[in-house]
Amino acid sequence: MNIEKLLKQPNALPSAPKVVRQLIETFEQEDVDVMKAASYIESDPVLTAKLLKMANSAFFGLNRNVTTARDAISVMGLIKVRALVIGAALGDGFHTLGSVNLGQFWRYSLNTANLSRYLALPIKIDENTAFTAGLIHGIGELVMHVGMPEAMIDLDRSIPMLDLKRARAERGLFGYSYADVGAALAREWKFPKKMVNAIEHQVAPFDNDVYEPIAGVIHIANWRARAEELSMGSQGLINTYPDSIGLVLGVDPDTVIREEIPALTRIAAAEQAETAH
């Protein structure tokens, strides 16, 4: 199925809720009114509940529970809260995918977001765009599973969704990858152009005269988050590190090749903490 046909499939591209459209508009504002952003979120009780559930989960390890959107923003900051609400809305559009482990997918996506911000800060790249684009960078996978479930189930059996060779396999089979599809959804929801470009070019951020640094950051971040899900050891990390992209960006490879890094939530620790609640 070509990408144009895929995007026209019923339910493939869910529509953005009003609160998400309002939050996306704030990306282009120099001075965001935090209280107004909180009021947008609180106008949608379902998304607010999802935000609070995520914020209070073991993944974020907050020192105290947050009970309102304003509270969440004061503790976590607008960058994270805004992205989490957008992610929750996207999650609502894809909640019945039998062949996808959505818990793992969103854990991996959150790790990618955290790692994107962690990489962006020292090299002076916009942390806001990096975190949000990192969180939703893989959403094209869910669109593809909705639009052509049988083809994707076959692919999942041969090359799992978080395999390092996944994008290459998709391009070989379909002529496009989750990155192209995710960018189409980001355009549909009217994300800023820089974010759309980062999602679209994440697989090959510096090919064909493209230079999108945030795409490079997401490339390294999702490589490291996949390596975590694959339980890759030190040697595997060294052997698969995308050094050419890291070199262009000026990333210190030691910050991501180590098995223990601050921005990465350990799978076992998070699961144990969740079980204890």
Domains parsed from the chain with CATH numbers: 3-276 (1.10.3210.10)
Pair 165, 210: CB distance under 8 Å: no
- Residues 247-262 have a mean pLDDT of 89
Pair 268, 256: CB distance under 8 Å: no
- 175 phi/psi in degrees, rounded to 5: 90, 5
Q: How far apart are CA 170 and CA 22, in angstroms?
A: 33
CB neighbourhood size of 32 (10 A): 17
150 DSSP 8-state letter:
H
pLDDT over threshold 80, residue 272: no
| Residue 276 confidence (pLDDT) | 36
- Residues 61-65 have a mean pLDDT of 85
What confidence category does residue 13 fall into, taking pLDDT thresholds of 50, 70 and 90? Answer: confident
With pLDDT > 70 as the criterion, what percentage of the chain qualifies? 94
- Residues 135-151 have a mean pLDDT of 94
The amino acid that residue 108 corresponds to is Y
- Residues 220-228 have a mean pLDDT of 96
- Of 35-44, 57-66, 135-144, the poorest mean pLDDT is in 57-66
Element (DSSP H or E) covering residue 19: helix 18-25
What confidence category does residue 277 fall into, taking pLDDT thresholds of 50, 70 and 90? Answer: very low
28 DSSP 8-state letter:
G
pTM for this structure? 0.90
Q: How far apart are CA 57 and CA 103, in angstroms?
A: 13
Query: For residue 200, which of 3, 15, 24, 1 has the smallest C-alpha distance?
Result: 3
- Residues 188-194 have a mean pLDDT of 93
- Residues 222-241 have a mean pLDDT of 94
Q: What is the pLDDT of residues 70-117, one digit of tens each?
A: 999 999 999 999 999 999 998 887 876 767 888 899 999 999 999 999
What confidence category does residue 182 fall into, taking pLDDT thresholds of 50, 70 and 90? Answer: very high
Pair 68, 55: CB distance under 8 Å: no
Q: What rounded mean pLDDT belongs to the chain?
A: 89
Instruction: List the Cα angle 36/185/33 in 5-degree steps.
Output: 10
- Residues 253-266 have a mean pLDDT of 83
Q: How far apart are CA 261 and CA 266, in angstroms?
A: 9
